[in-house]
Amino acid sequence: MKLIFEKSIPGRHTDFLPALDVPEVSEDFARRIEPLRLPELSEVQIDRHYTELAGRTRGVNGGFYPLGSCTMKYNPALNERVASLPGFTDIHPLQDDADVQGCLEVMKKTEEYLAEITGMDAVSLQPAAGAHGEFTGLLLIRAYHRSRGDEGRTKIIVPDSAHGTNPASAVMAGFEVVNIPSDAQGYVDLAALKAAVGPDTAGLMLTNPNTVGLFDPNIEEITRIVHEAGGLNYYDGANLNAVMGIVRPGDMGFDVVHVNLHKTFSTPHGGGGPGSGPSGCKAFLAPFLPGLRVTDEDGTLHSGKADNSIGDMRSFRGNFLVIVKALAYILSIGREGVKETAENAVLNANYMMRRLSDVFDMAYDSTCMHEFVMTLERLKDETGVSALDFAKALTDCGIHPPTMYFPLIVHEALMVEPTETEPKETLDAAVEIFRKVMEEAYEKPEEMHLKPLTTVIRRPDEVKAARKPVVRYDYPGSV
Amino acid sequence: MGIYVPNTPEEQLAMLHACGFSDFDELFSGIPDGLRLDKALNIPEGSSELEVRRAVEALAGKNHVYRTVLRGAGSYRHYIPAIVSEIVSKEEFRTAYTPYQAEISQGVLQSIFEFQTEICELTGMAAANASVYDGATAAAEAAQMCRERKRTQVLVSATVDPKILSVIRTYASGTGSEILTVPEKDGVTDEEALRGMLGEGSACFILQQPNFFGNFEEADRLGEITHAAGAKFVMSVNPIALALMKTPGECSADVAVGEGEPLGLPMGFGGPYLGFMAADEKMMRKLPGRIVGETEDLDGKRCYVLTLQAREQHIRREKAGSNICSNEALCALTAAVYLAAMGPQGLRQAAESSMAKAHYLKERLAEAGLKPAYERPFFHEFVTECGDEETAVKIEKALAREDILGGLRLGNGRVLWCATEMNTREELDKAVSIVREVCAS
């Protein structure tokens, strides 16, 4: 399909603004030399262009989206409605506290609920995404050690099964990364952990359930080992949907967490953001939290900086309108719903895993949490059909593929996370499709390399894209 | 109770049995007993949609929406064409994940490719990424991009928005980059001071255009001075002003960043916004975050994919330049639709109108007794002085009584005002008459 620039006709436009009602100005400043080139289209053309683009995009409402580690649950309509209220959208972020008591209450309530769900004492809503929350939490850890004059704690321990953001965040926060192996079950190797900790340990970053979808039963010992060495424990909340209302990071021995509102708390992913990655911590770390803190003084809410704040992670207070959606979600499902959500997320995953396990090799042979990992290594060895081929074949069947090649420690991995918002019949239908594609892979393996066949494009040449990158449209005649 | 679990309790039980569990307790038996919560969470019970709607509407009702807004300072109220929110609310765009599966994500990918092109056109740069969290984090990421082994100092003009400076400091605290503030002189960067501060350890100089006080800086010359010392030149720019002013590309900037909120996003109490980042050819591979590139599919058909992923955290892990994964894709789409709707003519009109209204306001306020702090070219923000903070507070309160959000108080009686195409002459005249009364009393 054409790019919007290729549909542009000089002179086409819609008038959105009135004529000037004050004198024109002729200010003396350096003006742009190159004329500004932007699309010139009528409104109907713009609408059709984006309607066509929407048709070439798969959203959660369009069908089953079992993308492991991404928690692609349904995004409730109510949340969108309340987040678009003018009483939120038309508020300037630098209005006086007295003018924005409602916004501050949204933040205060959300902070309190998230603290309760994670077992923390304080939460900052400023981080704009999960990775941003990780960076924030690690800066808290660093600030804490420094505040005690404990300058030698320079290392963060990360299991090899961790998401790539964990080590990347640790480096951004000025730490050195120590990778430790996982055992055959994907659990933290306790011997390796014990060998890794020491006076230079600043902390450990962990996801539990871990990135293979298993709850590490040694969690209390793990966090104790780190604490005894003088380090702090960081909980990556990527997989909180599996356990909320059932077990809390704060009770497992974690000192700092981040949660992903765009996963666990139902706010939409938006094709890659905006998300929100609040940071929570135990009371002893609260004085280091970033941004403005909301406090209640006799029923009036005020904002102010924490005493030893690490600073600001971004402008203003966070992705506020995303926070409104998460609050509406928590108020809707409530305390019973939080637990029921986790229970059904785990049930749906186990149900699917069970129904697939006679045909597919599961990477781990135990009860999973909210997601499970299959390995297609055998299929690859016997037929040459890879996890990628298999994933692409699923797109032809109306299913968004599971996460591929993650976690890195499982070969030919496909990670399936159905989420709690999928009804049983969707899971049953998906199981039939997975099985059918498996049969097809054995019957006509060579055809699998060509899939998908029904999508608007076939497989793209990614090597070409990276070798000589074309990252913008070049207007005809431009060099 | 608005729970979004479709399966009935009977279905859930049947599924549990199918998996060999008698109940949920058994399903979670892998979690050690002592760890499991033995009490209900201390949060409210679930509520029906109507109840939640009422509760959240009541919260929105506790905020004051001003009819007239004369405050900017990093968040700007511009007109958002109706088509923008209509398109952005399409469920496919709203609920999709990051477009890793290119075959079923061409819509998102193409829209980001178009966004990148528009940012390149606005800034005059060679390449742009798919966005970062906001303008401040974009500036902080730019500082990291420019860091070299022996060049770790980041020079930031004192005329940069203090909120941006604060974020640059936070980001730099991790890697240990030294942040130096280049002093201000008469509302713009002190050129001589910059020249004296640049050295062999300087990684970059960050300039805001127009600056925090609304003034246009001599960006070309500051860029030349920066480059002469071997450092990189980073410009943080207002995207609406780019319809009129010399682009970062034309000022030989190495990296251009900015806050995309003015491009069709509501003020929203500060977010979500989007940070845009663009670079020249040489710096392209140092851009953080996602980038969409053009390629061909098996049939030779033009298509789009996420590219240059070898820079990113999921491949490079601890060796990645940044940890960013989620960006602000839907906000980038918003900006792209806004720019397509406004077109070159509409964007120029928004810029010229904002500028004209601000100039009108400044002149009328001066007549009313509010002295301008600077007499130099400016865009749509300017600073006034009234001698003491007490008067500034009085002005703010008097305006608020008439439903006008006055300028931002900077301390010592200095106020930063902003006007955009949203402000009518009538509104501005009314604000001026209120200020006149306060100044005369």
Give A-chain residues touching B167 at CB under 8 angstroms. 311-315
> What does the pLDDT look like over A440-454, one tens digit per residue?
999 999 999 999 999
Q: How many CB atoms lie within 10 A of CB A181?
A: 13
**Burial of A33 per CB tally in 10 Å (0-12, 13-18, 19+):** exposed
Q: Residue range B154-168: average pLDDT? A: 98
If you write DSSP's letter for every residue of A247-315 in order, what string do you get?
--HHHHT-SEEEE-TTTTT----TTT------EEE-GGGGGG--SEEEEEETTEEEEEE-TT----SSS
Predicted confidence band of residue B175 (pLDDT cuts 50, 70, 90): confident
Give A-chain residues touching B63 at CB under 8 angstroms. 87-88, 91, 99-103
- Residue B154, pLDDT above cutoff 90: yes
Q: How many CB atoms lie within 10 A of CB B193?
A: 17
pLDDT of residue A404: 95
Please answer yes or no on whether A334 and B46 come within 8 Å at the CB atom: yes
Which residue in B26, B131, B133 has the most chain A C-beta atoms within 10 A of its own C-beta, making it the best mutation to test that interface? B133
Q: Quick one: which of B313, B214, B294, B205 has its CA closest to B252?
A: B205
Considering the domain A78-333 in this protein, what is its CATH number? 3.40.640.10
Domain layout of chain A by residue ranges: 1-20+40-56, 78-333, 334-464
Half-sphere exposure of A466 (CA within 13 A, CB side): 11
Q: Quick one: which of A366, A355, A360 has its CA closest to A425?
A: A355
Shortest distance, CA B289 to any CA of chain A (angstroms)? 11
Please answer yes or no on whether B308 and A469 come within 8 Å at the CB atom: yes
Which residue in B56, B76, B363 has the most chain A C-beta atoms within 10 A of its own C-beta, making it the best mutation to test that interface? B56
How many CB pairs below 8 Å do chains A and B form together? 676
Do A393 and A437 touch, CB atoms closer than 8 A? yes
Specify the range with the lowest mean pLDDT, choosing from A5-9, A220-224, B308-312: B308-312
Mean of all residue pLDDT scores within chain B? 96
Please answer yes or no on whether B64 and A165 come within 8 Å at the CB atom: no
pLDDT of residue B2: 55
- Cα-only R_g, chain A: 25
CA angle B306, B308, B314 (to 5 degrees): 80
Shortest distance, CA B381 to any CA of chain A (angstroms)? 14
CA distance B307 to A467: 9
Interface list for B 40-79 with A (CB within 8 A): 40-47, 49, 52-53, 55-66, 69, 71, 73-75, 77, 79
Q: Buried (b) or exposed (e) across B306-325, using 16+ Cβ within 10 A?
A: bbbbebbbbebbbebbbbbb
Q: Quick one: which of A379, A370, A382 has its CA closest to A435?
A: A379
> What does the pLDDT look like over A271-280, one tens digit per residue?
999 999 999 9
In this complex, the residue of A84, A101, A319 whose CB is nearest that of residue B62 is: A101
Q: Please check whether residue B215 touches A, CB under 8 A.
A: no
Please answer yes or no on whether A331 and B56 come within 8 Å at the CB atom: yes
Predicted confidence band of residue A186 (pLDDT cuts 50, 70, 90): confident
**Burial of A466 per CB tally in 10 Å (0-12, 13-18, 19+):** middle
Do B333 and B115 touch, CB atoms closer than 8 A? yes
Predicted confidence band of residue A26 (pLDDT cuts 50, 70, 90): confident
DSSP symbol at A124: E
pLDDT of residue A478: 66
Maximal CA-CA distance, chain B: 83
Phi, psi dihedral angles at B99 (to 5 degrees): -75, 65
pLDDT of residue A380: 97
CA distance B102 to A78: 30
pLDDT of residue A183: 85
Please answer yes or no on whether B56 and A130 come within 8 Å at the CB atom: no
Predicted confidence band of residue A118 (pLDDT cuts 50, 70, 90): very high
Do B411 and B419 touch, CB atoms closer than 8 A? no
- A177: its two tokens: 């990364």
Q: Residue range A305-310: average pLDDT? A: 95
State whether residue B411 is helix, strand or coil: strand
Q: How many CB atoms lie within 10 A of CB A18?
A: 11
Q: Residue range A383-401: average pLDDT? A: 96
Q: How many CB atoms lie within 10 A of CB A84?
A: 17
- Residue B355, pLDDT above cutoff 60: yes
Query: Which domains occur in chain B, in start order?
Result: 9-61 (no CATH), 68-77+344-440 (3.90.1150.10), 82-338 (3.40.640.10)
Predicted confidence band of residue B307 (pLDDT cuts 50, 70, 90): very high
Please answer yes or no on whether B45 and A328 come within 8 Å at the CB atom: no
Contacting residues for B300 by C-beta, under 8 A, at least 6 apart: none
Shortest distance, CA B191 to any CA of chain A (angstroms)? 17
Residue B9: cis peptide before it, omega within 30 degrees of 0: no
- B255: its two tokens: 């990296």
Predicted confidence band of residue B257 (pLDDT cuts 50, 70, 90): very high
In this complex, the residue of A1, A29, A70 whose CB is nearest that of residue B245 is: A29
Nearest chain A residue to B47, by CA: A332
Shortest distance, CA A91 to any CA of chain B (angstroms)? 5
- Residue B44, pLDDT above cutoff 80: yes
Please answer yes or no on whether B269 and A50 come within 8 Å at the CB atom: no
Give A-chain residues touching B85 at CB under 8 angstroms. 84
Specify the range with the lowest mean pLDDT, choosing from A169-173, B174-178, B410-414: B174-178
If you write DSSP's letter for every residue of A319-340 in order, what string do you get?
-HHHHHHHHHHHHHHHHHHHHH
CA distance A233 to A223: 6
Give A-chain residues touching B11 at CB under 8 angstroms. 424
Nearest chain A residue to B67, by CA: A90
Q: What spatial distance separates the first Cα and last Cα of chain A, rounded to whole Å? A: 24
Predicted confidence band of residue A184 (pLDDT cuts 50, 70, 90): confident
Structure pTM? 0.97
- A313: its two tokens: 């992670």
Please answer yes or no on whether A20 and B353 come within 8 Å at the CB atom: yes
pLDDT of residue B277: 98
pLDDT of residue A477: 75
Nearest chain B residue to A114, by CA: B43
Do B189 and B217 touch, CB atoms closer than 8 A? yes
Q: Please check whether residue B359 touches A, CB under 8 A.
A: yes
Half-sphere exposure of B68 (CA within 13 A, CB side): 23
Q: How many CB atoms lie within 10 A of CB B149?
A: 5
State the architecture of A334-464 in CATH terms.
Alpha-Beta Complex (3.90)
The amino acid at B436: R
CA distance A117 to A248: 7
Mean of all residue pLDDT scores within chain A? 96
Phi, psi dihedral angles at A273 (to 5 degrees): 110, 165
State whether residue A341 is helix, strand or coil: helix
Interface list for B 154-193 with A (CB within 8 A): 161, 163-164, 166-167, 169-171, 173-176
- Residue B313, pLDDT above cutoff 80: no
Please answer yes or no on whether A331 and B52 come within 8 Å at the CB atom: yes
> What does the pLDDT look like over B131-144, one tens digit per residue?
999 999 999 999 99
Nearest chain A residue to B268, by CA: A89
Shortest distance, CA B344 to any CA of chain A (angstroms)? 5
Give A-chain residues touching B424 at CB under 8 angstroms. 21
- Residue B311, pLDDT above cutoff 80: no
pLDDT of residue B317: 77
pLDDT of residue B320: 77
Shortest distance, CA B213 to any CA of chain A (angstroms)? 15
pLDDT of residue B52: 97
CA distance B421 to B80: 11
Give A-chain residues touching B352 at CB under 8 angstroms. 20, 24-25
Give A-chain residues touching B107 at CB under 8 angstroms. 52-57
Cross-strand partners of A382: none
Please answer yes or no on whether B42 and A116 come within 8 Å at the CB atom: yes
